């Protein structure tokens, strides 16, 4: 695969020359955890989800 003289299979290792996993792996996982928790807190705060019960539906009595 050759896209504009960029060979990803031969050059993708270079990111790890900048982002050393021994230093940055745990902070990356921590950032991922914070993002995931924020998304879940937002999703569960929407009406009708786990944190708040769904609004009751008004049902009219049948006419007699």
Q: Helices marked H in 1-64 — which ranges?
A: 8-11, 15-18, 21-45
* Rg, the chain, Cα only: 25
Query: Of residues 7 and 31, which shows the higher confidence score?
Result: 31
Boundaries of every domain in the chain:
19-46
What integer pLDDT is reported at residue 53 of this predicted model? 63
Task: Name which of 59, 56, 36 is nearest 48 in CA terms.
Answer: 56
Largest CA distance in the chain: 81
For the cut 70, the answer to whether the pLDDT of residue 61 exceeds it is: yes
Going by pLDDT thresholds of 50, 70 and 90, the confidence category of residue 2 is: low
Q: How many CB atoms lie within 10 A of CB 24?
A: 13
- For the question of whether the overall pTM of this predicted structure is more than 0.85, the answer is no
Q: Which pLDDT tens digit goes with each residue over 14-55?
A: 888 888 889 999 999 999 999 999 999 998 888 777 666 666
Query: Of residues 30 and 13, which shows the higher confidence score?
Result: 30
């Amino acid at each position: 695969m050759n896209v504009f003289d960029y060979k990803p299979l031969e050059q993708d290792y270079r990111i790890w020359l900048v982002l050393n996993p021994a230093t940055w792996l745990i902070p990356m996982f921590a950032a991922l955890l914070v993002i995931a928790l924020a998304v879940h807190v937002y999703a569960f705060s929407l009406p009708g989800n786990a944190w708040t019960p769904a609004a009751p539906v008004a049902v009219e009595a049948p006419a007699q």
